[in-house]
Amino acid sequence: MTLVCNLLLIYSLVVLARIVLSFFDVPSDHPVGRVRHALSLVVDPVLRPIRAVLPPVRLGSVGLDLSPLILFLAISLLRSFLC
């Protein structure tokens, strides 16, 4: 069970890093852009089904994607239940 708890913790940190790095607009050949792309490859397959169910929240002309927050909260709830 400790392995599962540690993997969930690591994945939640990856999701958090993906959330933070999404605020920086850097080219894909920049080191931060490469890290953001690698994190996207890990996190986005899990986010796609959430995005299909939960549309972006409109704030004026900007759409706010809440799917990473929902995923982060779901992982936190799962960790509190299992660990």
> pLDDT value at position 60?
83
What is the number of alpha carbons within 13 Å of residue 34 lying toward its C-beta?
3
Q: Give the mean pLDDT of the chain.
A: 91
The two three-digit tokens of residue 55, written as one number:
């549309």
Confidence bin at 1 (pLDDT 50/70/90): confident
Q: Rounded to whole angstroms, how far apart are CA atoms 7 and 43? A: 14
